[in-house]
Amino acid sequence: MSAILSNAVIGICRRSRNSLQYLGTKMKKVVRLVEGEGLSQQVIIATKSLKCGRVIAVPTDTIYGVASLAQNSEAVNALYDIKQRDFSKPIAICVGDIIDIYKWGKVTVSNDLLADLLPGPVTLVFERTADLNPNLNPGTTLVGIRIPNHSFIRQLAQSCGEPLALTSANISSSQSTLTVQEFQDLWPKLDLIVDGGTLSDDPKSRLGSTVVDLSNAGKFTIIRNGSAYKSTVDILAGKYNLTEEDR
């Protein structure tokens, strides 16, 4: 990294904390989402935080997640520490557009199939490419890739220009969360909490995304049923005639 670029990044990191519009002393790191021009500003704030190697909380189309830059090994380690997650358990990545999937995963299905599932509450698992951080999920050759159907996190991934490491906003193995208040125990360890309100009144949303392994051409394996199991299987088996294999 050049000295000029390095100084620019340091400047961004120093300024990012001053850019937040605080909601009060107890919630000084919480930023509420607003539509329109305000959303763009919030994307910029969150991008700055991630680019500085920090971990933030974000809304998705199912549950709240915590995210860091997937290509930043120190940030990924911090993500695991905050979650108290076993390092042997993989973390998915989040991208902004379907075309981005091809850079990080070895896609075995048609673009039409991808477009039928994404954006949406589905995580697609492929063999990883050499471009992905080797320190992210080093124990597997696979990677789960998400494009949530949520405008903020999609714009955030697009703004960062690289994948986000994304996992649920809770202590590992505890209940997933639909409001930011449900994971207040994590707030002190997070640089920013993006509050998108109550994500759903349907308890089914707590199941998170449906995780499906598509690494073998012509076949699929459901790794986690999640909140979109039936619609995912209908598309894979019913529309595209892929063969389901047991896990």
d(CA 234, CA 78): 38
Reported as a single tens digit per residue, the pLDDT across 228-245 is 999 999 999 999 999 999
* Rounded percentage of the chain residues whose pLDDT exceeds 90: 82
pTM over 0.75: yes
176-220 residue pLDDT tens: 999 999 999 999 999 999 999 999 999 899 999 999 999 999 999
Tell me the per-residue pLDDT of 89-118, one tens digit each, with 9 for 90 and over. 999 999 999 999 999 999 999 999 999 999
